[in-house]
């Protein structure tokens, strides 16, 4: 079976930057299934902007590895979803193409940076989507919009064709309305690619099981502490109770390095962003520079005019952190803190099979509510640690506070994505029964 899928969504929430009116599909495991793709993943012949004016007219000549796999299995790529510019944000408000609105409440943010993918799912526009997660960018919007999102183990899904923000942290991952569909999509995209030197040959081929008898669930108090809305914490503790009713046991664990996580994350990710975004200079990528001006003036003018404020802020922070005299003071210390966090998770996961906690400290906030960068950065406190440790983490809906979705986060050992998926599936099946 092969054909075209007519895709003309009623996109009231501004989930898409580009849509494919007649999306082609072929035979395969996902034959005819509409899949939305975050706009920082390369798609041959389909505009890919990273939600930035600097790439507004860019059409890649090649597919990312995950897109090759989707096409091979017959999926219909129906469009490119809105996002925070270059993945830098937690609200999808930094997009050059306007903010995405949360289908649960159009006055609220959908989360970010994969907010368009989550909103498209929550609005019923597509059954499956791809996002990317550098510090929570799949799990945050999944939690805020009430859908499911998996950040795979670092190195399990190829990053070939992903327009890089922070190479050592980011992963492409599946999003859907159910855990079963997330697992189904993961089975397609998690196949070895020699073009990505950070990838290991650990394909994912798993059908979720709800049998979690004997599962040890670690509950770190750091995930329920200062800054976490007590109602969100209570809702997530109730979800942990459901796992206990299904035969799991809970054990207290500790991640003391959490207090360093945000600082380490923002030094590392901005440093890598500073390096990665240097290519957008009006020569290699971006609008053409005025050759009558000096290179320095032309370069500065192009980036000032076409990068948004948040991207410029992070590039400057990263450039400073890597500069002579400061790299040892900031970047080297951040790498040390990262190692401490990784060791904390390894220690905790010797006593537990999965670690459970809230995905986000609050429910979705209002559009325009958080205007200072620090308050937005603090929103990543519960998601960024998994990226620093390189472990798998999933967010599954677990209830509502003030009518807005709450996300239940489950994390596991490296390359034990299947166990994390099973725990989320068991919970989902029980509450939907």
Enzyme catalytic residues = 38, 113, 137
Shortest CA distance to 226 belongs to which of 267, 261, 259? 259
Tokens representing residue 66 in the block: 């995950």
Task: Compute the distance between CA of residue 321 and CA of residue 311 in angstroms, rounded to an integer.
Answer: 15
Instruction: List C-alpha distances in Å: 124 to 9, 50, 173, 319, 393.
Output: 9, 23, 19, 41, 24
Q: Which helix (H) or strand (E) holds 341?
A: helix 332-351
What radius of gyration, in Å, describes the C-alpha atoms of the chain? 20
DSSP reduced 3-state for 360? coil
| CB 145, CB 104: distance < 8 Å | yes
The greatest distance separating any two alpha carbons of the chain, rounded to the nearest whole angstrom, comes to 71
Category of 80 on φ-ψ map: left (φ > 0), alpha (ψ -120 to 50) or beta: beta
Q: What is the 3-state secondary structure (H, E, C) of 93-137?
A: CCCCCCCCCECCECCECCCCCCHHHHHHHHCCCCCEEEEEECCCC
Q: Would you call 168 helix, strand, or coil by DSSP?
A: coil
Cα gap 173→185, rounded to integer Å: 9
Which of these, 42, 391, 47, 311, lies nearest to 196 by C-alpha position? 42
User: What whole-number distance in Å separates Cα of residue 101 and Cα of residue 131?
Assistant: 17
Using DSSP, state whether 310 is helix, strand or coil: helix
Whether 189 and 174 have beta carbons less than 8 Å apart is answered as: yes
The SS3 call for residue 404 is strand
DSSP 3-state of 355: strand
Closest CA to 316 of 303, 332, 334, 325: 303
Please report which helix (H) or strand (E) contains residue 77, including its range.
strand 76-81
Q: Which residues contact 142 (CB under 8 A, 6 or more apart)?
A: 111, 118, 148, 149, 175, 359, 395, 396, 407
């Amino acid at each position: 079976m092969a054909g075209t899928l007519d895709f003309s969504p009623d996109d009231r929430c501004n989930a898409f930057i580009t849509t494919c009116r007649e999306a082609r599909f072929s035979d395969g495991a996902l034959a005819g299934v509409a899949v939305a793709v975050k706009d920082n993943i390369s798609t041959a012949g389909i505009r890919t902007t990273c939600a930035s004016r600097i790439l507004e007219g860019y059409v890649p000549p090649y597919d990312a590895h995950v897109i090759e796999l989707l096409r091979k299995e017959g999926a219909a790529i129906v469009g490119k979803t809105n996002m925070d510019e270059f993945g830098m944000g937690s609200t999808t408000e930094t997009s050059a193409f306007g903010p995405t609105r949360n289908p649960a409440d159009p006055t609220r943010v959908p989360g970010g940076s994969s907010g368009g993918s989550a909103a498209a799912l929550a609005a019923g526009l597509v059954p499956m989507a791809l996002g990317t997660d550098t510090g929570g960018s799949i799990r945050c919007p999944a939690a805020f919009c009430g859908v499911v999102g998996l950040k795979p183990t670092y190195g399990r899904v190829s990053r070939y064709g992903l327009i890089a923000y922070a190479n050592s942290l980011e992963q492409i991952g599946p999003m859907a309305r159910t855990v079963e569909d997330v697992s189904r999509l993961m089975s397609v995209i998690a196949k070895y690619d020699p073009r990505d030197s950070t990838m290991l040959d650990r394909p994912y081929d798993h059908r979720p099981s709800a049998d979690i008898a004997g599962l040890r669930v670690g509950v770190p108090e750091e995930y329920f502490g200062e800054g976490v809305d007590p109602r969100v914490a209570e809702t997530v503790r109730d979800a942990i109770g459901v796992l206990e009713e299904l035969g799991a046991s809970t054990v207290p664990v500790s991640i003391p390095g959490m207090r360093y996580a945000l600082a380490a994350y923002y030094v590392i990710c901005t440093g890598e962003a500073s390096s990665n975004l240097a290519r957008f200079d009006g020569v290699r990528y971006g609008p053409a520079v005025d050759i009558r001006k000096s290179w320095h003036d032309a370069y500065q003018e192009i980036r000032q005019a076409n990068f948004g404020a948040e991207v410029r802020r992070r590039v400057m922070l990263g450039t400073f952190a890597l500069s002579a005299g400061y790299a040892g003071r900031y970047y080297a210390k951040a790498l040390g803190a990262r190692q401490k966090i990784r060791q904390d998770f390894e220690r905790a996961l010797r006593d537990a099979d999965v670690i459970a906690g809230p995905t986000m400290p609050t429910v979705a906030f209002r559009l325009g509510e958080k205007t200072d960068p620090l308050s937005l950065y603090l929103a990543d406190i519960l998601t960024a640690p998994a990226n620093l440790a390189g472990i798998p983490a999933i967010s599954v809906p677990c209830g509502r506070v003030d009518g807005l979705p709450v996300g239940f986060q489950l994390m596991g050992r490296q390359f034990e994505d299947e166990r994390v998926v099973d725990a989320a599936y068991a919970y989902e099946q029980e509450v939907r029964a």
